[in-house]
A = this chain, B = another copy of it.
Amino acid sequence: MSQSKPRDPDAVHRHLRDVQRLLSRQRLVEDLVHRQTMPRHDLVESIVHRQHIARLRRKLDRLHPADIAWILEALPLEDRLFVWDLVKAEKDGDILLEVSDAVRETLIDNMDPAELQAAAETLDADELADLAPDLPPEVMEVVLESLDTEEQQQVRAAMSYPEGTVGSLMDFDMVTVREDVTLEVVLRYLRRFDALPDHTDKIFVIDREDRLRGILTLESLLISDPETEVAQVMQSKSLISFAPEDDAGGAANAFERYDLVSVPVIDAERRVIGRLTVADMVDYIREESEAEILSQAGLRKEEDIFAPVMRSVKNRWAWLAINLVTAFIASRVIGLFEDSIEKLVALATLMPIIAGIGGNAGNQTITMIVRAIAMGQVQPSALRRLLKKELGVATINGLFWGGLVGLMAWWLYQNPALGVVMTAAMTLTLLVAATAGVLIPLIRQRLGRDPALGSSVMITAITDSGGFFIFLGLATLFLI
């Protein structure tokens, strides 16, 4: 028995390097032929060429679709399409599901309808529904027609649930049994399967009308006496199940909290219509946190790192536009005080310190509050308590850091009054930042909006304009 082993989790990096090496050798041969630096012995060339391609193909045949997907993402466009052509057609569907949206587009753009149709037909109903929005409608139509009625209904059902719901993530593979049979019967029934659905850790126990009666874990199936009836060992109390309309984020929390592997999805009549697995939830959690990090940096969605320049520009312009508006407002606030700055130019030099630290402190507060809201742990009733705490933190930080910058201003410009204004402005700005950092997400929550969306832009806009106004305003009142 061989002990072949992709033991280390970084095996995929090695695979990528192998593919890149084969590609570059391949390119070298083409290059030589093209430049005619080597006499064009067609025979030699085509043999070397074919050898490389054969090795690359063998390499790809051995790889898991998820690994191929990852390698495709890491390759520049021309290499990506070259490799994509060498991949076995039966893996195409799985790979299309695994790659990022941006890379999927580049692959689908380079497939003809027949290839796409063949790829789509290898997929399960729920997978097909995931891929559907990216497929040309005419391909989707042909594929749908090739399915039986039940599968067609499943695809349509899966597509009917909006993104971010349990229904859009569920699959339709499951094993069900009745409660009045013995475990021996269940064991014999399972032996008739060629394979069980992925992540089967429990069997759903249903009645004649497909209604969920309980769940039979594989554990209890295995450790109990085969003569026992299903009804005696199944769990029927405090069953965890989801409705297809449920929020996927809530479901992910439940998977995390109760360490679940698979959960039945039931309709309003308690009929089992699908199943949610931990694999879907792991992908969901990853994608959500990706999306959050990207949106904080002002990227609309994940970028293909080898995307053409114009596509990247499009992905980034919206945020820059918003930023331009807020920066322009802040600039006009400064404009109000141009006379003061002309008289005391140190104000121009010092003002970015106030705005910068204010923005930072505000972002700390808002991030903490947004996270607590996302965890569901902040009720509107906590408002006063949170505000009190954040204002306390802001006062301490304001007096300490403000005092420090005040001393620096005094020392740099030999102007003690300027130092005092600096300290006061810093403290006030931090108080404004703390108040906005607590109120913005709580108000958005109460209005039923996503408290996270654009929170960083809003708080920075407030602390910039607010910080400039407070500092220049105080300076105009007391120094000019």
Contact = CB atoms under 8 A, between A and B. Distances in A.
Interface in A212-266: 213-214, 218-219, 221-225, 231, 236-243, 246-247, 250-251, 253-259, 261
Interface string A362-405: 01101111011001111100100110010011001100010011
Contacts of A405: 324, 328
A296 interface: yes
Contact of A313 (B247, B296, B327, B397): B397
A342 interface: yes
B346 A338 contact: yes
A22 to B, nearest CB: 15
Interface stretch (A115-123, A126-134, A155-163, A353-361): A353-361
A8 B250 contact: yes
Contact of A290 (B270, B313, B371): B371
Given A201-B201, A236-B1, A346-B338, A282 B281 contact: yes
B294 A7 contact: no
Given A191-B225, A367-B297, A331 B357 contact: no
B282 A323 contact: no
A149 interface: no
A2 B213 CA distance: 10
A445 interface: no
A478 interface: no
Interface string A54-70: 00000000001011001
Given A73-B377, A196-B223, A357-B327, A345 B349 contact: no
Could you say how many copies of this chain the assembly holds? Answer: 2
Given A282-B282, A324-B401, A2 B341 contact: no
A226 B271 CA distance: 33
A293 B292 contact: yes
Contact of A345 (B7, B281, B319, B338): B338
Contacts of A194: 223
Interface residues of A, number: 148
8 contacts: A4-B237, A5-B239, A7-B240, A16-B376, A74-B376, A296-B367, A334-B352, A348-B351
Given A3-B270, A278-B278, A320-B401, 14 more contacts: A2-B236, A9-B254, A12-B257, A66-B258, A74-B376, A74-B377, A199-B261, A281-B282, A285-B289, A297-B364, A320-B360, A331-B349, A332-B349, A347-B348
A-B pairs, top 7 by smallest CB distance, nearest first, are A9-B250, A289-B289, A297-B367, A348-B348, A74-B377, A309-B392, A66-B257
Interface of A: 1-10, 12-13, 16, 20, 64, 66-67, 70, 73-74, 76, 98, 187, 190-191, 193-196, 198-201, 213-214, 218-219, 221-225, 231, 236-243, 246-247, 250-251, 253-259, 261, 270, 278-279, 281-283, 285-286, 289-290, 292-294, 296-299, 302-303, 305-307, 309-310, 312-313, 316-317, 319-320, 323-324, 326-328, 330-332, 334-335, 338, 341-342, 345-353, 355-357, 360-361, 363-364, 366-369, 371-372, 375-379, 382, 385-386, 389, 392-393, 396-397, 401, 404-405, 408, 412, 464, 468
